[in-house]
Amino acid sequence: MILPDRPLIMLVDDDTDLLLLLEATLLAEGYAVDARTDAPGRGDITAVQPSLLFLDVGLLEENGAALCRAIKEDFGATLPVVLMSGHADDQLHQEAALAHADACLTKPFGQQEVRVLAAYYAPVPAA
């Protein structure tokens, strides 16, 4: 869902239940959300212009860490990326560092962790 004058967060995960939970959490916080189960291409990111991207490492068709590296090469610091994975904490941190991700979340994670990262990287303007 896209709301005018709100930071837009792109969510990418092939787990539709998690995707719906993340979307509901962020919508309740006042964000616009673009949720998808497939990896976005450069054109998708350019068209949507997200303020923040939450990206699963283990997508069915794509490696999220490799995609993060490519996004960082194309968009650099202008697009913060949070990698999400069920991998062990140390493995995820290593993948995130190599992919130049801004942050990472180990699954399962809490809604509060998502809220904190969203507020840090894409604050909602005061009403």
CATH of the domain at 12: 3.40.50.2300
Asked whether residue 81 is assigned to any structural domain, the reply reads yes
Q: What pLDDT sits at residue 89?
A: 84
The helix (H) or strand (E) run that includes residue 119 is: helix 111-121
> In a structure prediction context, what are the per-residue pLDDT tens digits for the chain, which is 127 residues long?
455 688 999 999 999 999 999 999 999 999 999 999 999 998 999 999 999 999 999 987 889 999 999 999 988 789 999 999 988 888 889 999 999 999 999 999 999 999 999 999 999 887 6
Q: Cβ(52)–Cβ(122) under 8 Å?
A: yes
Q: Is residue 87 part of a domain?
A: yes
Contacts of 77 (CB under 8 A, 6+ apart): none
Q: Which two tokens stand for residue 60?
A: 């069915």
Domains held by the chain: number: 1
Residue 64 lies in a domain: yes
Is pTM beyond 0.85? Reply is yes
User: Is 127 among the domain residues?
Assistant: no
Token code pair at residue 65: 């860490």
User: Does a structural domain hold residue 93?
Assistant: yes
